[in-house]
Structure 1
Amino acid sequence: MEQIKISVRNLVEFIMRSGDIDNRHGRAAQKEAMQEGSKIHRKIQRRMGASYQSEVPLKIELKRQRYLMIIEGRADGLIVEEEQVTVDEIKGIYQDVNIMERPAGVHLAQAKCYAYIAARQQQLSEISVQMTYCNLDTEEIRRFRETYSFLELQQWFEELIAAYEKWADFQYEAKLERNASIAGLEFPFPYRKGQRELAGDVYRTINRKKILFIQAPTGTGKTITTVFPAVKAVGEELADKIFYLTAKTITRTVAKEAFDILRSKGYQGRVLTITAKEKLCFCQEMDCNPVHCMYAKGHYDRVNDAVFDLLLKERDITREVLLTQAEQFQVCPFEMCLDASLWVDVIICDYNYVFDPNVYLKRFFSEGVKGEYLFLVDEAHNLVDRAREMYSAVLYKEDFLRFKKAMQSHSRKCVQALERCNKRLLELKRQCANYQVLDSIGDLVFSLMQLGAALEEFFQTENNFPEKKELQEFYLEVRHFLNMYDRADENYVTYTEQEKDKRFKLKLFCVNPAANLQECLEKGRSAVFFSATLLPIQYYKKLLSTREENYAVYASTVFENEQRLLAVGTDVSSKYARRTKREFQRIAAYIYETAKGKTGNYMVFFPSYKMMNQVWEEFLEQEGILEEMDCICQESGMTEQEREEFLENFSENRKKTLIGFCVMGGIFAEGIDLKGDSLIGVLIVGTGLPQISNEREILKQFYDETEGAGFEYAFRYPGMNKVLQAAGRVIRTGEDRGVILLLDERFIEEGYQRLFPREWSDCLQITLPQVKKTIEEFWNLP
């Protein structure tokens, strides 16, 4: 019989909420409280006596006409005494427990669900419910206890289920329809070379509950080749939901197009694209409370009707669809979007919604929750630095001083707590000339915890003062720092730094994010990491997962070597010691000779804006160059419209050659798709090495000690990834032809040659006098 499952927590939170969205009254740290709650649970559970059973799994199966409804979860505690059984529900909070008058409605409802299931299983005529609230800073505890008869709980539970039943019916019917549509689904194109094998690899990985890393060169159709077997696996009930995770908006568009293609072939699944909150907000300024936003007022009273109506009429839930629906029902579009995510088959979203400890979707990934989810991680090379950022935390001494001054007339307790933190940071500052790696910051952490408690107490009572919003953001930074401190282990380095602008920074730096990412991956069934530049594969395997038995495949290129000229300029360099006028002139000559070979569009990628501008000046010095060619230059901080205008220049029908000067690792170096004659050549100046900084030096030292490969991990591998991404802008289809020139003598060194993709085995070595002839011969090939 078909099963429809829901967790107790999701059931009560979905059905029983009501009223307004309200970001006031100390609610700033609710997400953090959920994250940190599990630790306090274990602490309280350990203190209880022999009669206390912790983490008790409870499940009830309710037979319906067409399906079996399964409601399950874990009670934090079950106290079994001679005359009474009590369900204990523990909640870690940041507010003062002494000002609580009663338990929160949804918290009590969760406990009552567990109590009903336990009473039914043990045939009890009555059972008690205990709500245990614990302040996460002070560890002070407040308990509320009530006894219910079984009949009282039964009636209450049946009313809850009756409200949920239409959702379960919808889920059952949607699943039948989806699976039937997938059963007959065929791969939507003729298979290219190696594509069928790659799809098979993805399917086997899902079937075996493993993790797969795919190095897939441009043109292998990696998106559809991972999406199709994932959809088939869902249709065969090997998995329940697909999360397609990306780093950039443009790759979300590519993912959506893949699902649109499957829909045109009959796929009936529901696909939701999550857009950032600020892009969905109707208000000029995001301030989520009923005073500032009409959509926040009464949102929870209307949102379930809005979601149900949305699901019945839409299968492709985009930003435009969400905005229209939210306007119609007068609800917050972003919150409605997150609610809709529970009921769809595919979620296309940023990495944050699965991996970021402050943003992740608690509906799917909260403590103890595991689902049959598939994670398809696109452009996975981006996840290393993004994950480091997510799991690192930074505090600036100057912020403590600023808020100490701002709080003088508001809270003596907060001022004193800020002063204690500032004093500790001042001690660290005196010991730091440039940067300093620290062994321990325990004294400061204790002061930060006191500050967090003082600020939370302040937010409970004080509502209006000019700096409130900035203070709340600062408070969240402090909470994040404390949360990351609790995670900090051998994969972290704690350091202080005097920045160039004289600000003093303390950072918990997550050097290797693999353990934190693995914790997230464990909440699903299977994951596929894929990119056109996942080399060396062992580097990414070590930084994105801790499992030893992960799979890796190298997809074959579908392009012929004859489609492109690949060459290294061996008489040129971007080394700092060689950055002279003479070298810039040589690079400019390489660009000119390459572009003269055939009229068309070219991009040149540089290691920095500074060097780009230096070569740009030398290039324009050449006589008559502007009559022969059009030149455009990337600028720092370009708006979305300026980016689009820049790319619009790369049309296929230009009469004059166009050269775009760009920065490696920047907005035009990956994710853009210029096919055919839109781009016929790419020149890459330098090896892409990241700029030297204190943080890079810390990375180097860490990986010297752990892997014996500090330079590779900190500089060479990330740099080469930028090179490969830039090279991937040319030759996008089987009909394209183009030139790739690598302008740096270091590319012929063995350390770089080892990082070349296998399809680069035919790379030529040339010098400036040979460029003209080599380019002409390539374009003259039939």
Structure 2
Amino acid sequence: MSAQPDASPLYTVAVRALCEFGLRRGDLDQRFSGGPTAQEGIEGHALVASRRGAGYQRELALEGVVGALRVRGRADGYDPALHRLEEVKTHRGRLERQPESVRTLHWAQLMVYGALLCRQQGCADVELALVYLELGSGQETVLTRHCTAAELEAQLLSACAAFEQWARLEAAHRAARDAALQALAFPHAAFRPGQRTLAEAVYRAARGGRRLLAQAPTGIGKTVGTLFPLLKAVPGQGIDRIAFLTAKTSGRALALDALGLLRGSQGPSAGTTREAPAAPQQAKVFPLRVLELVAREKSCEHPDKACHGGSCPLAAGFHDRLPAARLEAVSLPAWEREPLRALAARHGLCPYYLGQELAPWADVFVGDYNHWFDPNALLHGLSGAQGWKTALLVDEAHNLVDRARRMYTAELDPATWRALQRQATGELKRALQRLQRCWREVVRLPAQAEGAEAAESEVPDSTHGQELQPSLLSEDGTVAGVARPAKPRAPQPPYRVLDGMPVKFVEALQLAASAVLAQLADEPGRPDPALLDFAFDALHFARLAAAFGPHALLDLHTDGRHQRLCLRNVVPAPHLQPRLAAAQSVTLFSATLRPPHHHIRLLGLPEDTLQLEVEAPFTAEQLRVRVARRLSTRWRHREASLARIVAIMGAQYDERPGNYLAFFSSYGYLRQVAERFAAERPDIPTWTQARGMSEAEQAAFIECFTEGGRGVGFAVLGGAFSEGIDLAGERLIGAFVATLGLPQVNPVNEQFRERLQAQFGAGFDHAYLYPGLQKVVQAAGRVIRGPEDRGVLHLLDERFDWAEVRALLPGWWRVGE
């Protein structure tokens, strides 16, 4: 290949992607590379740079044109005085365990950077240094080579030759994709009411690189209404990738259906959309690569084996067989779960890691929130490394606060490492013994005592946390319907909040995790699950501890002799802000985003975030909303409430027989009402949600709601049947909601309330009221799904008639007696 540019269109490729594409060989091996995160890599690079002398240049931008390719990247460091170019790699444990193929790839990367440097500076040679930083000890291992410009140029040309054919295919695909998207037509004869408003707002946000918070009611076609304008914006706005992120599997299926519809494909998921029938089959497959991101545990074909060639047959020779599979993939109409699994089987590859390898070449990603927002997020890291302009669509965004809190929360159980210590030997045993000594110091740290017997939950366990508002307090001083926490009887309080982060304990935790990973790397078979879980939990805790601040809470739970340490995230904003800022544009949409400032503050959205509330296409006549005034579902009134609730439900069924859903604050309350209802109204069929239902059991519950059927399903508010299910027409004609959905009052949630009050004011609203009412509105939204639906909603608590609660209900509801 010529070193000079020719008439071919240029394709830009990053140095790392260039080398990984054509120079990797041999087995897939996750033992060595499973340690450092992207953030740890950044911190490691900064540490190395801080040890260098004056004039040291970090992140040196390098670029060159070779034939049809523009190759560019940033070398980690360059010392002009020594004329030495450095590539820094972080790792854990002993360096000699590193596979030779990995070392070869690292040298190839550095040599390409060296070639670009020689071109850029016109120099005849350069010293190359491969710097390995061990994260646990901070020790550097430096390997050096002196290379001439001619040697480096040969390496650059070789890497480009391996990539050029693929680059031409990619350039042709990109041109065909953009042309097809420019001509893309809306897949229906007309927009639904409110759908055009949403679509126009999404397009404007993409065009301006803005963040949009859009509340849009169920039934207007939000999935198509957000995907269509964003796809149309791709060519004109230079958007490289779109990521459609969901909270649940049902949302992912809807997105794949909508994309199948928009592409005019009759692929595995096309034609089953609940928003509209599929378009007719087109003669030619639409040039849009859609990759479904599936969790590793759901993709693994050999869960009893480790992810390396010595254990799993699908890892052995993985990189040798990858090029043929990658080339076949570009001819497939879809990269969804089952087509990808079949492709992997044809080539003897792991389907999960095949999906990871195809990710750089996909146009649209459909997957869970964690693929962008999690600390180890694939898409966020890939987007940054590739320099993509990525546009995000965040579906059912009211779930993101709780999900993000869980992503950035870590819990430790000392019983885990004590059990491991009894079986450990050598370095690992010493590390675990030190950890146990440091743990004893943590237990003795000064802390805030919290008196703590938690009342029964208003909803399944939720870690939400101004002084409590009097209007929602009962006369004995408890929050609307929950008993006052009792004072501890034992001298050792069952719940304590620690004043600060125990630094020595965190250091010991990191060393113990490193010792575990070092041992696991030498094991030929499947890793010991207990060791692996401990290592991941320990590293996750240590990473979050490094960023500990007012947005988080460190607490200690004691139950007899059993103790647990939890680092809880209260405000996800500090973690999410850089991830939201890294996207070209972000649209967060849901039917329940009221009030918007709650989400803007907790998620870390900028103050200039665009806000949209799409007018509902429904009328008040479609949904009769009745409030049971003079009925209390507060904790102390629940026994007394049973007769009234059963009577209201029975009377409504007699007035209009059909299918109903009844939501309650806990499984205990649900059981009480269900048993009494069955005893008093044995003529009405009932079916009940149970804890831990399998997917098959959940499907069976939904199947009870047949067109023209009759009966009452009992469910827990905030559970599997509160959102994400579509029971249109006569499949569901009414709902009963016997709770405000307020999270339970316990010491943890009270700490949340106090911290939210300190940061934003209105701590009670942010910790209790807003999350509760969102669940109520989501559950009620199951009743009216389309313009022809008619139904009734019974809000079974007198507090639904209070002004501060009414303000959070949908504006189109007309609440009556």
Deviations 1:416-458 (A, max 9, x none): 3343344334435998612222222112122223323433444
**Cross-structure match for 2:225:** 225
Structure 2 match to 1:307: 326
Match of 1:178 in 2: 177
Q: Which one of the candidate residues 493, 501, 504 is aligned to 1:433?
A: 493
| CA pair 338-213 structure 1, distance change in 2 beyond 3 A | same
1:52-451 pair list within 5 angstroms: 52-64=56-68, 69-81=69-81, 85-97=83-95, 104-189=103-188, 190-264=190-264, 267-285=286-304, 287-312=306-331, 314-361=332-379, 364-365=382-383, 370-408=387-425, 411-428=428-445, 433-440=493-500, 441-451=502-512
Q: CA offsets, 1:197-248, max 9 Å, x none? A: 2211111111111100001111121111110110001132431111000011
Letter aligned with residue 536 of structure 2: L
The answer to which of 381-390 and 354-363 deviates more is 354-363
Give the direction of change, closer, same or farther, for the CA distance of 1:271–1:681 in structure 2 (3 Å limit): same
Over 3 Å counting, the alpha-carbon distance change for 1:660 and 1:559 in structure 2 is same
Structure number having the greater helix percentage = 1
- Structure 1 residues not aligned, in runs of 5+: 767-782
- Spell out, residue by residue over 1:50-107, the C-alpha distance to the aligned partner (whole angstroms, 9 max, x if none): 241111111223453xxxx3322211111112xx622111112112358779882222
Which one-letter code corresponds to 1:315 in the other structure? P
Deviation string for 1:746-765 (max 9, x for gaps)?
111122112112222x211x
- The runs of 5 or more residues in structure 2 that have no matched partner are 1-7, 265-278, 450-491
Residues in 2 aligned to 1:121 and 1:704: alpha-carbon distance in whole angstroms: 55
- Within 2, Cα distance between the matches of 1:2 and 1:728? 51
Deviations 1:533-589 (A, max 9, x none): 111111011112241111110011111221111121112121112111x31011011
Instruction: Give yes or no for contact 2:550–2:755 (8 Å, CA) kept in 1.
Output: no
User: For structure 1, which segment, 446-455 or 546-555, has the greater mean C-alpha deviation from structure 2 after superposition?
Assistant: 446-455
Measured in 2, the distance between the counterparts of 1:98 and 1:645 equals 54
**CA-to-aligned-CA distance 1:703-744 (integer Å, 9 cap, x gap):** 121122121111111111110110010111111111111111
Q: Which moved more, 1:181-190 or 1:372-381?
A: 181-190
Partner of 1:673 in structure 2?
726
The Cα of 1:671 is off from its aligned counterpart by: 0.2
Give the AA of the match of 1:303: L
Task: Pick closer, same or farther for the CA change 1:200–1:173 going to 2, 3 Å.
Answer: same
Correspondence 1:473 to 2:523: no
1:369 Cα deviation (Å)? 5.7
CA shift for structure 1 position 47: 2.4
Contact 2:495–2:558 at 8 Å: present in 1 too? Answer: yes
Distance 1:410 1:77 in 2: 34
C-alpha separation between the residues in 1 aligned to 2:397 and 2:718?
Answer: 15
Q: Is the 8 A contact 2:14 2:72 kept in 1?
A: yes
| Cα distance in 1, alignment partners of residues 652 and 346 from structure 2 | 57
Q: What CA deviation, in whole Å up to 9, does each residue of 1:606-660 have, x standing for no partner?
A: 11110011011111221xx333x21111111111111111111111033xx2110
The match for 2:562 is 503
Cα separation, 2, equivalents of 1:427 and 1:467: 34
Root-mean-square deviation (CA, aligned residues, Å) is 2.2
Q: What whole-Å deviation, never above 9, does each CA across 1:467-490 have from its counterpart, x for those lacking one? A: 833112201211111111112222
Correspondence list, 1:508-547, <5 A:
508-547=567-606
What's 2:468 paired with?
none
Letter of the 2:156 counterpart: F
Q: Given that residues 445 and 498 in structure 2 are in contact (C-alpha distance below 8 angstroms), is that contact kept between their aligned partners in structure 1?
A: no
Cα distance in 1 for partners of 2:236, 2:738 equals 49
Check conservation: 1:12, 1:110, Cα contact below 8 A: yes
The question of whether the paired residues in 1 share the 8 Å contact of 2:372 and 2:380 is answered with: no
2:636 partner SS: helix
Secondary structure of the corresponding residue to residue 579 of structure 1: helix
**1:304 maps to amino acid:** P
Q: Deviations over 1:242-272 (max 9, x none)?
A: 1000011111111111111111267431111
Contact 1:424 1:443 in 2 (8 A): no
Rounded to whole Å, the distance in 1 between the matches of 2:158 and 2:292 is: 33
2:177 partner SS: helix
Which whole-Å CA distance do the structure 1 matches of 2:380 and 2:598 have between them?
30
Alignment-derived partner of residue 780 in structure 1: none
Structure 1 vs Structure 2: percent identity of aligned residues? 33
Structure 1 residues 463 and 317, CA gap change in structure 2 (3 angstroms):
closer
Q: Please, which moves more after superposition, 138-147 or 537-546?
A: 537-546
TM-score by length of 2: 0.87
Which residue identity lines up with residue 444 of structure 1 in the other structure?
F
Whichever residue aligns with residue 123 of structure 2, its letter is L
2:682 to 616, 626, 633: 626
Q: The residue matched to 2:346 in structure 1 has which SS?
A: helix
Q: Is the 8 A contact 1:513 1:543 kept in 2?
A: yes
DSSP-derived class of the 2:718 partner: coil
How far apart are 1:405 and its partner, in Å? 0.9
**Alignment correspondent of 2:762:** 709
1:420 and 1:362, CA in 2 relative to 1: closer, same or farther beyond 3 A? farther
Match of 2:453 in 1: none
Partner of 1:507, secondary structure, is: strand
CA distance in 1, matches of 2:536, 2:303: 22
**Mapped contact 1:573–1:744 kept (Cα < 8 A):** yes
Partners of 1:417 and 1:18 in 2: how far apart? 41
1:635 corresponding residue in structure 2: 690
Alpha-carbon offset, residue 23 of structure 1:
3.9
Residue identity matched to 1:53: Q
Distance in 2, matches of 1:517 and 1:269, equals 29
TM-score between the two structures when normalised by the length of structure 1: 0.91
The aligned runs of 1:626-775 (5 Å cut-off) are 626-627=682-683, 629-654=684-709, 657-760=710-813, 762-764=814-816, 766=817
The equivalent of 1:777 in structure 2 is: none
Match of 1:486 in 2: 546
Q: What secondary structure sits across from 2:419 in the alignment?
A: helix
Contact 2:62 2:120 in 1 (8 A): no
CA separation in 2, counterparts of 1:9 and 1:100? 18
Report the secondary structure of 2:550's partner residue.
coil
Matched, 1:601 2:600: no
1:284 CA displacement: 4.6
Alpha-carbon spacing, 1:631–1:283, altered in 2? closer, same or farther (3 Å): same
- Relative distance call for 1:286 and 1:539 in structure 2 (3 A) is farther
Q: Deviations over 1:11-54 (max 9, x none)?
A: 22232222222344x5542x43x430211211221221124111
Change in CA separation of 1:127 and 1:503 when aligned onto 2, cut-off 3 Å: same
* Structure 1: distance between partners of 2:554 and 2:646: 43
Give aligned pairs, total: 745
The amino acid across from 1:60 in the alignment is: G
CA gap of 1:180–1:101, structure 2 versus 1, over 3 A, is closer
Q: Give deviations 1:318-359, integer Å, cap 9, x for gaps.
A: 211011111100000000011112112111001111111134
